[in-house]
Amino acid sequence: MYYLNTFDFNTKKLIGNLIDISIEGAMIFSENPITCDEKIKLHIELPAGFLDGNCLDVEAEMVRNIRDINADYHNIGFRFINLDSRSQEVIESLIHYYVF
């Protein structure tokens, strides 16, 4: 399994690794909890040569932040906001790429 690094677009700080994605949102596996009461822009690094870009930038809001079964990590859930057609295409391609 290949995890995609996910950053806060504005601060460039690593949030964690993408472990699940859908058109509705994403789950990030992180060593650190984050505090986010408002919208955040996620910067997800795509696999080399994937489609026509090297990243996916999407607005999201955090909807959950819980400890993983391994207490050293957190599962952070985000809901996407206002996805454009390119972002939807990239997400659908990621789902197809990693599921099949």
Q: Tell me the domain boundaries of the chain.
A: 4-99
Cα 86 off chain centre by:
16
Burial class, 36, CB count within 10 angstroms (exposed 0-12 / middle 13-18 / buried 19+): middle
CATH of span 4-99: 2.40.10.220
How far apart, in whole angstroms, are the C-alpha atoms of residue 98 and residue 100? 6
Tens digits of residue pLDDT in 45-92: 998 877 777 899 999 999 998 888 888 899 999 999 999 999 999 999
Q: Kindly report the three-state secondary structure assignment for every residue of 32-88.
A: CCCCCCCEEEEEEECCCCCCCCCEEEEEEEEEEEEECCCCCCEEEEEEEECCCHHHH
What pLDDT is stored for residue 48 in this prediction? 80
Label residue 1 by pLDDT band (50, 70, 90). Answer: very low
Residue 29 in contact with residue 66, Cβ under 8 Å?
A: no
Q: What is the mean pLDDT of the chain?
A: 89
| pTM of the predicted protein model | 0.88
Label residue 12 by pLDDT band (50, 70, 90). Answer: very high
